Chain A
Amino acid sequence: MRKTEQVSWRRAMHLVVAIVVMSMVLVGVSSCKKQGANGTSSDNKLYLYNWTYYTPDEIIERFEKEYDVDVVVDNFSSNEEMFAKLMAGGGKGYDIIFPSADYTSIMINLGLVEELDHDKLPNLKYISPLVRSKATYDPDMRYSVPYNMGASGVAVNKTKAPEGYARDWSIFEDSRFAKRMSMLDDMREVMGAALKHLGYSVNTVNPEELAQAKALINDKWKPNLVKFDAEGFGKAFSRGEFWVVHGYAENVFEEFPEDKWDEIDFFLPPEGGALSIDNMVVVKGSQHSDMAHEFINFIHRPEIYAIFLDTFRYPAITNTEAGKYTKNKPFYSAEDVNDNFEVLQDLKDDLQLYNDIWQDIRYVN
């Protein structure tokens, strides 16, 4: 009798433990959701969702101080990741998201972003006409404000490379650099480079032009490449393993010792290429819409925008006045971004044309 009592008591204990564990799991899950989803407007917070390493801490700190607000920054590493989270309902709690041009137009078309109140954004007058002319999906900034416009380029290690290399995309045809070169593992960037080198648009859907671009990459560029790399090329470049890399300036320079930066020749090929514009959009249903407007306006205050430029050594392309306040020399100049550079557009179903070609380039020897 005593034994059975003990048994049932123990059984009950185990049941309690099991229930506690289960409820902890459930509470954990639901509380995560709560934090993301229901920020009320009175809580003095601002939720940002930006690319990793793309929001200088100094800017956030100064904004927090000036507006007495708590800024929470979440990071994503690709537009697809950000968009998947948004569509799964995990993006509801954010106030400002920083998508690239193609995803900005997608989000505008799907009605995921709020229309901006220009009365609250006086600093929009500093946005350069060039950037606005390139932002064909929203030239009047009704829904989106450009955060940064830039392009990938080519970095050459001058101590390793022989003299007299071409300072354009044809450098990848140069067999003297064979097995010492890498291009981005990014379909639109690489296809864009080839298309521009041939004199076509980065957004073409003409099969003949695309076939020529494929032949150029597969027959002339790829034999000289070690790999298509978007992860480790900066490190390999700084080790001296890769001599010529295609990528974004900051990814190359940040890995290289600063006292040796003059050993790097970084250029944007004059034939042009894929231009990327990252934007700020206010998420539809944002609980802190006013504060979000303040933040966008704050970013484009020229002396604040200069902090952003100095952090990443970008040229002052997006904001017309910020260049007067910068301290560091940018990695490339604003003039390098010539008229040949084109913004990547959302190709909708025609993207499949690119996918098929990219498979032939990436998956087959």
Chain B
Amino acid sequence: MSIKDGRRSSERRERRLGVSYAAPMGVWFTVFFIAPLVIIILYSFLKRGLYGGVEWEFSLTAYGQMFNPNFGKVLLRTIWISVVATAFCILLAIPTGYAMARSKHQTLLLFLIIIPFWTNSLIRIYAWISILSTEGFFNEILKSLGIIDEGLHLIYNHGSVILVLIYMYLPFAILPLFTTIDKFDFSLLDAARDLGATKFGAIRLVMLPNIRSGLLTAIVFTFIPIFGAYTVPLLVGGKDSTMIGNIIVDQVSKTRNWPLASAFSMILTLVSTVGVIWMMMSSRKEQAQKKNVTNQQKTEQNILDHHTTGGEA
């Protein structure tokens, strides 16, 4: 009985401590996330001010203006670029995460993945510009090898935008995949092989379903930032590489249509929300599956619990 009481009061204590621990984060979150989001939502339903800003008058004009074939094309282009870039990120990240998880030098490899973050992203984009330019590093190598005579136009098109986006967001796909693959019990692969699966079949049928949550996180972590990309299409894109992020900036800084910019931001927020909800639901489903363990395991768990709590008290 005393153990039970102690447990309950410590739970209560922890809950109370939780509130004060969370307070700074909560304030931060409210001031720098919720409040701006509310402003964006509000502005998207107001009338545009002639010289930027908004007039306090309810209006759905911004949402009406969004249904413009030009914006539709940019939206389709944004989706297309994001899907392609995300797909490549995931396809590259799965084998990378697998290799990392099976490697003896995990810390070193993890370190190598994180190192690029030490450099400002803008500088890394400019580095890509000097690699891809017509007079750039890559073309010079090809020229010195005698493969080409004139520099190829490798930059300022959709391809360069996708390439640099993949480079920028690949680590965001590798890290969650690595952590889930690392937790995966590799002896299951051997078991599958023993039962007659091919090597690829074992990975596809046994490993992939088991790293579902990591896969989902990787997709969400790459797709969302790529969907809202602004600097990459601006700097390495060509005359027709505009994405939604660029429209938002144009509407604020050039066209002075803040409600329209807010309405487009709403699309970005909506896409992110859907992604996060998808992630949360699937991880909840996974947890539910895990809870649904056999009686045998339940009993074992109960015994284990009893011993550990007893030991602590």
Contact = CB atoms under 8 A, between A and B. Distances in A.
Interface of A: 7, 10-11, 14-15, 17-18, 21-22, 25, 78, 80-81, 83-84, 87-88, 106, 110, 179, 186-187, 222, 225-228, 231-232, 235-236, 239-241, 348-349, 351, 355, 359-360, 362-365
A227 B52 contact: no
B31 interface: yes
A83 B50 CA distance: 12
A239 B24 CA distance: 48
B71 A231 contact: no
B222 interface: no
A78 B253 contact: yes
Contacts of B242: 362-363
B130 A239 contact: yes
B23 A83 contact: no
Contacts of A10: 17
A254 B226 CA distance: 33
Contacts of A179: 153
Given A25-B27, A84-B53, 4 more contacts: A11-B16, A14-B21, A349-B50, A355-B255
Given A22-B27, A80-B256, A84-B52, A231 B234 contact: yes
Contact of A21 (B27, B50, B136, B252): B27
Given A10-B17, A84-B53, A225 B70 contact: no
B74 interface: yes
Contact of A225 (B28, B129, B155, B239): B239
Interface residues of B, number: 45
16 contacts: A11-B17, A22-B24, A87-B51, A87-B52, A179-B153, A226-B239, A228-B239, A235-B129, A236-B129, A239-B135, A239-B136, A240-B135, A241-B135, A241-B155, A349-B50, A364-B240
Interface in B18-59: 20-21, 23-24, 27-28, 31, 50-53
A125 B24 CA distance: 59
Contacts of B130: 239
Nearest to A107: B51
A147 B28 CA distance: 42
Interface string B212-255: 00000000000000000000001101111110000100101111
A364 B17 contact: no
Chain A interface helix/strand/loop/mixed: helix
Nearest to B50: A348
Interface in B82-118: none
B20 A14 contact: yes
A280 to B, nearest CB: 20
Contacts, number: 98
A177 B20 CA distance: 65
A364 B16 contact: no
Contacts of A228: 239
B134 interface: yes
Interface in B163-210: none
A311 B239 CA distance: 33
B51 A106 contact: yes
B295 interface: no
Nearest to A355: B255
A363 B66 CA distance: 13
Contacts of B144: none
Most chain A Cβ neighbours within 10 Å, of B31, B129, B130, B238: B238
B70 A360 contact: yes
Contact of A364 (B28, B70, B129, B238): B70
A359 B250 CA distance: 10
Given A78-B253, A227-B156, A232-B235, A363 B247 contact: yes
A10 B27 CA distance: 21
Contacts of B50: 348-349
A20 B254 CA distance: 41
Nearest 7 A-B pairs (CB), nearest first? A14-B20, A18-B23, A21-B24, A365-B240, A363-B70, A227-B239, A240-B135
Interface in B119-155: 126, 129-130, 133-136, 153, 155
B68 A359 contact: yes
A7 B13 contact: yes
Interface string B252-294: 1111110000000000000000000000000000000000000
B7 interface: no
Contacts of A365: 240
Most chain B Cβ neighbours within 10 Å, of A87, A232, A241: A241
A231 B235 contact: yes
A336 to B, nearest CB: 27
B312 to A, nearest CB: 15
A18 B24 contact: yes
Nearest to A13: B20
B73 interface: yes
B175 to A, nearest CB: 29
Contacts of A11: 13, 16-17, 20
A239 B153 contact: no
Contacts of A78: 253-254
B123 to A, nearest CB: 13
